[in-house]
Structure 1
Amino acid sequence: MIEIVCSDALRPRIERELAAAGIPTGTSAETTTDSRWVLVERGHTAPDHAPAIVFDALDYVQVVRMLASGIRGSAQTPRTMIGQRDDAFVVLVARDVLVIEAADDGAIAVTASGTARMRGTLQQIETAWGPLGFVRANRSQLANLSHVREIVPWFNSRYVLRMTGGNDVEVSKMYAKHLRARLGI
C-alpha cells in the first residue's frame, strides 16, 4: 500500500493514476503499519515509518510510472490500444500513432491513416505508452518521438516538434524541461 503526502489539489490525480496502475493507496492512519512506500510532494514533511519518495508536483506521472514498473516487474508495456473510428473499433499500434490529443470524452489518436477516439485521459495514456517514446508536449497533447523530424527552438524556452505527416506540435515552457531531460539536450 502506498501512502500519499501532498497538496489537496494533487491528491485526486495521483490516486487516479495509482488506481489505473493497480497500486492500492490509503490515508496516513490506514497505512502507518501497512505502507511500503510514501509518496511525498516536495515541501511536505515525510513520515518516518516507511521509505519516502520525494517528487516535484509536475513529476507525479513519472513517479507513478516508476512505481508501477517496479511493482509489475516483468510486465510488458502494452503496444496496442483500442480506438474507435466511425462505427468500428480499430487496434491502434503505438508506433503508428503520431500525436494524441485531449478530447471531451477521452482522447483522439492521430495516425497517418486518420484519427480515432481513445478511452482514458492523456495521463493514463502517457503512463502506458511513455516507455514507448510518447512525451507530453503541452496540457492537451502527447507526441510520439519516433515521428519527430525536427525539434525547432521557439520563443520563451519552448520548442516546436515538426512531425512526419506535416503536423507541428508546440511544446510548452512547462514541458520543455522534461523533453530536454528525456532527449539529453
Structure 2
Amino acid sequence: MVQLLCSNKVYEKLKRELSKYQIEIKQDSDLVLVEKGYDMPSEKLCVVFEAIDYMDVIRLLVSGVQEDLHLMNTLTGLSENKFAVIEPRDVLYLEAASDGIMAYTKSNRYSIKETLQYYENIWVVKGFMRINKSQLVNLLHVKEIIPWFNSRYVLRMDNNVELEVSKMFSKKLRITLKI
C-alpha cells in the first residue's frame, strides 16, 4: 500500500502499473511516492522520483514486494510441446518477436506468456537489463561488450549470439557497468 503525491498524468501511469502487482493506493499509507517538486509529508517514508523515471519506482517497489515470491525465481516456458520450469540464471536473454515472447537459454528457446515489461520489472534485481525495444539481456551471460558505431554496443553472449544495444539504452548500459 502506497500514497502518491504527483501530477495527474503521472498518477494515472503509476496507478495502472501498481494495479498490475496488486499494490494499493491509500492516502493514509506510511510509504509515499513523491514526484520531484512536490512537498514531502513529514513522519512518512518518502521515495522522491523524477516524473520521467516513474517506472524505476515501480521496479523498486516490485522488487521489494515480490522478493520472495516463487514467480520471481522461475519462469515456465514451452518448447516442442513440453513445458519446462527455468531459473533466471539459465536465461541468456528474452526477446519479443512476431510469434510472442521467447526466452533463450544456452541449449533451447522457450515460448513464454508474460511481457518483456513484466520481466524487466521483476528481474532487474537479478541482473536483467533492457537493451532495445524488443530484448532483455541477462548481464551475467554477456561474454564481450563490443563498442559499435553511433554510441551503440554489441553484446556477445555465452552462446556467441550477438545482440545490439540501441543508442537509447547505451547510456544506461554504460552507467550500469561503469564503462
TM-score normalised per structure 2: 0.80
Residue 5 (structure 1) aligns with: 6
Distance (whole Å) between structure 2 residues aligned to residue 7 and residue 174 of structure 1 = 27
What is the aligned-residue identity percentage? 38
Give the partner amino acid of 1:181: I
Q: Quick check: 1:105–1:119 contact (8 Å CA) kept in 2? A: no
User: How far did 1:84 drift?
Assistant: 1.6
The aligned counterpart of 1:120 is 114
The answer to whether the aligner puts 1:54 opposite 2:55 as a matched pair is no
After superposition, the Cα gap between the structure-2 partners of 1:171 and 1:2, relative to the gap in structure 1 and judged at 3 Å, is farther
Q: Equivalences for 1:165-184 in 2 at 5 Å?
A: 165-184=159-178
Structure 1: stretches of 5+ with no match in the other structure: none
Residue 152 of structure 1 deviates from its aligned partner by 0.8
Question: What per-residue deviation string (whole Å, max 9, x for no partner) do you get for residues 10-51 of structure 1?
Answer: 944x4444233332236xxxx3x44731242x6xx4255463
* AA matched with 1:141: Q
Structure 2 CA distance, aligned partners of 1:22 and 1:111?
Answer: 30
1 CA distance for matches of 2:98 and 2:30?
Answer: 36
Amino acid of the structure 1 residue aligned with 2:49: V
| Contact in 2 for aligned 1:136/1:175 (Cα 8 Å) | yes
Paired residue type of 1:2: Q
Measure, in 2, the Cα distance between the counterparts of 1:67 and 1:83: 26
Counterpart residue number, 2:19: 19
Instruction: Give the RMSD, CA atoms, in angstroms.
Output: 2.8
Aligned residue for 2:92, secondary structure, equals: strand
Distance 2:10 2:166 in 1: 22
Give the whole-Å Cα distance in 1 for the aligned partners of 2:54 and 2:138.
Answer: 20
CA 1:7/1:156 → structure 2, altered by over 3 Å: closer, same or farther?
Answer: farther
Superposition map of 1:118-157 within 5 A: 118-157=112-151
Q: Give 1:114 deviation, angstroms.
A: 1.9
Closer, same or farther in 2 for the Cα pair 1:60/1:154, shift >3 Å?
farther
- TM-score normalized by structure 1? 0.77
Question: CA offsets per residue over residues 107-162 of structure 1, 9 Å max, x none?
Answer: 21011222111122211101221111111101110011111111111122111111
- What is the aligned residue count? 174
Distance 1:137 1:24 in 2: 30
Q: Measure the CA separation in 1 of the matches of 2:137 and 2:6.
A: 31
Letter in 2 for 1:156: N
> Which amino acid is 2:4 matched to?
E
5+ residue gaps, structure 2, are none
